[in-house]
Structure 1
Amino acid sequence: MRTRKRWHTQVALVTIAAALLLPGVVVPSANATVVPFGNEFLWGVASSGFQSEGYAPESNWTRYIDSGAAGDEYPNSVDFVNHYASDIDLAARLGVRVYRIGIEWARLQPEPGIWDASAFRFYDDVIARIVAAGMRPMLTLDHWVYPGWASDRGGWRNPDMVEDWLANMRKVVNRYASRNPLWVTFNEPAAYVGTELRIGAITADEAPAMLDRMAQAHKTIYDTIHRAAPNAQVTSNLGYVAGAETEVNQPMVDRIADKLDFIGVDYYFAVLPESGQSVQGGSNQGPAIWELPIRTEGIYYALRHYSRLFPDRPLYVVENGMPTENGLPRADGYTRSEHLRDTVYWLQRAKADGIDVVGYNYWSLTDNYEWGSYTPRFGLYTVDVRTDPTLARQPTDAVETYRTIIRSGGVPANYRPTRPPAECALVDPPESCDQTIGLPD
């Protein structure tokens, strides 16, 4: 294995925002009492294809890893290909109702015009297992990875990428629409642009065209999905960037707002306390990802932001979690269980204030390959890829915590977060300083 590089995060997001930017109110109650979510609430877990599956076919990301620039070599990640049945059973035993996976284009279509029947059978089996276990699949069509042959054609630089992408995704939709999944077209489109910048697949000048092409692809496949299943629920989840959400994600929102059945929101970090800069995981600058500031109340502001933009549509937290360094205790002492309970408290506060949040996925069920490194650990079940050849799934403290939360519909009415709300400027300015939330007396 090559020498491992320290995993870092992108700090200012100036390049992405500058490349992409184009020129109803929820009032919080300080005395809001949280009540349990009902049986209709969709508790879930999330994963992605490339990050978990192993045995990766040639793609833009295998090429980047092979160049030596990524950090850790990939091997077979946590080998979901051979562990999917037991992983799905782990999720079912938590009591979750939704299991999010990715459908890898590079696996399905190894060459132009050629689809791999065995790859489709693999996903057939995974989805059937999810359904048989009493869960609803959430299918991500594109989680930042595309075939090597598409990279040879220029990737998202190439206007024909849209039709190449659609040719594969139409087959996926037509095959799995009858399974009634929740659909995610593109995972975190602005961050996708950021990763393409990071690996050198596009330049900053080419970023707006990539966004235009993703928007075109999203809108077209949205219509395809609805022809196959008129009542389908489709989104493109947005990686919320505290302190810079409008600059980073609004350009994509503006392009696809009429083709979103629900608003998928991913939330992880607050702004950096020293500088107030916005942060997002994915590049080689700034603090390590497990050192980034975590303010769980920020998820309330993220949901409020999108409830104001889309008062007529439900919101779903498609990803949320907390990184540790190689599974070690965090320097700030925050445990995965504390983070989970505190986050769920703020989800319940959002619901109490009239925000229509309908689901929550924990990222992730297991540790995986975090875009260049195995050092960041996000899993409810930890997996030590570097030292454990069996890739055993070891439960963290949060496994039983999540099971209890799901069984109870949330945290109790008298629960108070482990960490009270921070000064508003440290969370998500200006959102967090506009009608600031607090704890009940």
Structure 2
Amino acid sequence: MTHAGLLDAFPRDTFLWGVATAGHQNEGDNTASDTWFLEHTTPSLFREPSGPACRGYQQRDTDLDLAAGLGLNAFRFSVEWSRVEPERGVVSTEALDHYERKVDGCLERGLAPLVTFSHFTAPHWFAAAGSWTAADAPAWFAEQCDRVMARFGDRIAYAVTLNEPNLEQLLQAGAKLPPEAEAVKTQMLAAAARAAGTDSYASANVIPADLQDEFQAAFTRAHRAARGAIKARRADLPVGVSIAIADEVATPGGEERRDAKRAAVYDHWLREARHDDFIGVQNYERVVHGPDGEVTVDGELNGMGTVIAPGSLAGAVRYAHEVSGVPVLVTEHGIQTSDDAQRAAFVPAAVQELAAEVRAGTPVLGYCHWTLMDNFEWIFGYGAQLGLHEVDRETFRRRPKPSAKVYADVVRSHRGTLAHR
């Protein structure tokens, strides 16, 4: 494909080029959240506590400057419910002020605010009161969405209700975690319930295998309630859900296994997205299915232990649109690796494949790279590196990696004179 052809793929005036971040992973000291509670439970599935993370709460403007300095025009972040409502019925004006300033800071820098209303974490009180499966959970979440919309919903560009509600199904379908992890997860949640003085304790990204169906139904109710609350405040605001989706491909004879994986992990949410304005796609790998199971493919490996496949994003985007019928917003895409040379080569190659998919007719609204800087990667702690910047764990100073310039160059080539306006 020619360079001119690539430029033609993405509309210069409307296509979103951004980075994605998440509150708990970046902000630090999210002490009223369920995840913080689980990090400090014994036993804990989390490798280490999040602690100050990247001190992103204090360095809000610095991080927005980093994104703007890359020539981007979009910034995805989450509003931490546990900061806004640390106790049931107690709303923090300071937290709402902070996120409102973040939205305004995005706009001042030419960044479209892409707001996630729940990026896995929830308040501790919510987790102790039945979490997402509680009868009142949809109403509680809708109430949170409404207060956020009332404060600054008139200024955001896209709304993501839930982040990767299918993640646990994806992990379990691919056996990405060792068997002992499931046992530790169950023990951790039981210990958390005892410590909280409740019958149960749950969090969105540490769901026991036997509760997957129950949580899928609960997340669906919550998504619908959130969508309703957001649309009630602003009917024109695009609303969707973001799902984790690998590019599932098959060798001859592997089609049945591929289709079964798609049906078990993705299709529920892709059908649900038919009622939304877009589907958020979060892709990190390709899985190859043969007649007897997953097929090992030769090639260079990323930090997840899977073969680096730049075309996986285009494949995931294609399937998401085929089933949902709505436009796709790439809300996350990146590569886990400590070798930044891999990232620097991977990003432009993946964007080129995405451009070909767009030119073939698949509607894509934008691309957000995960993530702006190395941060707290949930149960893997600070060991997994996916950022365009590294963070000094003592001073919290951000330093760009070579891949940051590569991504900036990719964006500049597509945005042309719009970049750095």
TM over 0.5: yes
CA distance in 1, matches of 2:169, 2:155: 30
Asked whether the 8 Å contact 2:36–2:49 carries over to 1, the reply is no
Report the CA distance between 1:230 and its aligned residue.
2.0
Question: Which residue in 1 is equivalent to 2:11?
Answer: 38
Q: Percent identity?
A: 26
Matched residue type, 1:269:
E
Question: Which residue in 1 is equivalent to 2:373?
Answer: 366
Deviations 1:111-135 (A, max 9, x none): 1111111111111111111111111
TM score, norm. by length of structure 2: 0.80
Report the CA distance between 1:346 and its aligned residue.
0.5
CA distance in 2, matches of 1:164, 1:35: 44
Question: Which residue in 1 is equivalent to 2:389?
Answer: 381
Question: Which residue in 1 is equivalent to 2:309?
Answer: 295
Structure 2 residue corresponding to 1:305, chosen from 292, 315, 319 = 319
Structure 1 residue corresponding to 2:263, chosen from 230, 235, 246 = 246
Q: What SS does structure 1 have at the residue aligned with 2:287?
A: coil
Report the CA distance between 1:63 and its aligned residue.
1.6
Deviations 1:197-234 (A, max 9, x none): 74643543432222222212211221222222221111
Can you give the 5+ residue segments of structure 2 that lack an aligned partner in the other structure? Answer: 173-181, 190-201, 249-260, 417-421
Structure 1 residue corresponding to 2:144, chosen from 168, 172, 175 = 168
Question: Which residue in 2 is equivalent to 1:261?
Answer: 277
Matched, 1:134 2:131: no
Asked whether the 8 Å contact 1:45–1:362 carries over to 2, the reply is yes
Deviations 1:93-119 (A, max 9, x none): 111111001101111111111111111
Matched residue type, 1:259:
H
Matched, 1:188 2:142: no
Q: What SS does structure 1 have at the residue aligned with 2:167?
A: helix
Q: Which shifted more, 237-246 or 186-195?
A: 186-195
Q: What SS does structure 2 have at the residue aligned with 1:337?
A: helix
Can you give the 5+ residue segments of structure 1 that lack an aligned partner in the other structure? Answer: 1-28, 280-286, 412-441
Asked whether the 8 Å contact 1:268–1:294 carries over to 2, the reply is no
CA distance in 2, matches of 1:193, 1:298: 19
The 1:245–1:396 alpha-carbon spacing in structure 2 relative to 1, beyond 3 Å, is: farther
Question: Which residue in 2 is equivalent to 1:270?
Answer: 286
Question: Which residue in 1 is equivalent to 2:409?
Answer: 404
Matched, 1:319 2:332: yes
Report the CA distance between 1:34 and its aligned residue.
3.7
TM score, norm. by length of structure 1: 0.76
Matched residue type, 1:102:
S
CA distance in 1, matches of 2:45, 2:231: 40
CA distance in 2, matches of 1:64, 1:49: 16
Report the CA distance between 1:76 and its aligned residue.
0.4
The 1:291–1:253 alpha-carbon spacing in structure 2 relative to 1, beyond 3 Å, is: same
Deviations 1:153-173 (A, max 9, x none): 121232222222222221112
Q: What SS does structure 2 have at the residue aligned with 1:210?
A: helix
Question: Which residue in 2 is equivalent to 1:228?
Answer: 233
Report the CA distance between 1:193 and its aligned residue.
6.6
Matched, 1:209 2:182: no
Structure 2 residue corresponding to 1:51, chosen from 8, 17, 25 = 25
Q: What SS does structure 2 have at the residue aligned with 1:271?
A: strand
Asked whether the 8 Å contact 2:370–2:387 carries over to 1, the reply is yes
Matched, 1:116 2:121: no
Asked whether the 8 Å contact 2:270–2:324 carries over to 1, the reply is no
Deviations 1:363-385 (A, max 9, x none): 00111100031011111111142
Matched residue type, 1:323:
Q
Report the CA distance between 1:343 and its aligned residue.
0.6
Q: What SS does structure 2 have at the residue aligned with 1:360?
A: strand
Report the CA distance between 1:257 and its aligned residue.
2.9
The 1:57–1:237 alpha-carbon spacing in structure 2 relative to 1, beyond 3 Å, is: same
Higher relative contact order (CA 8 A, sep 6+): 1
Matched residue type, 1:322:
I
Matched residue type, 2:228:
D
CA distance in 2, matches of 1:301, 1:227: 34
CA distance in 1, matches of 2:388, 2:361: 30
- 1:424-435 alignment runs, 5 A limit: none
Asked whether the 8 Å contact 2:143–2:229 carries over to 1, the reply is no
Matched residue type, 1:64:
L
Asked whether the 8 Å contact 2:273–2:279 carries over to 1, the reply is no
Q: What SS does structure 2 have at the residue aligned with 1:80?
A: coil
- Alpha-carbon RMSD across the aligned residues, in angstroms, is 2.7
CA distance in 2, matches of 1:105, 1:119: 9
CA distance in 1, matches of 2:37, 2:130: 14
Report the CA distance between 1:276 and its aligned residue.
5.1
Matched, 1:83 2:83: no
Report the CA distance between 1:33 and its aligned residue.
5.2
CA distance in 2, matches of 1:390, 1:273: 45
Asked whether the 8 Å contact 1:270–1:278 carries over to 2, the reply is no
Q: What SS does structure 2 have at the residue aligned with 1:138?
A: strand
Asked whether the 8 Å contact 1:273–1:293 carries over to 2, the reply is no
CA distance in 1, matches of 2:71, 2:161: 26
Matched residue type, 1:270:
R
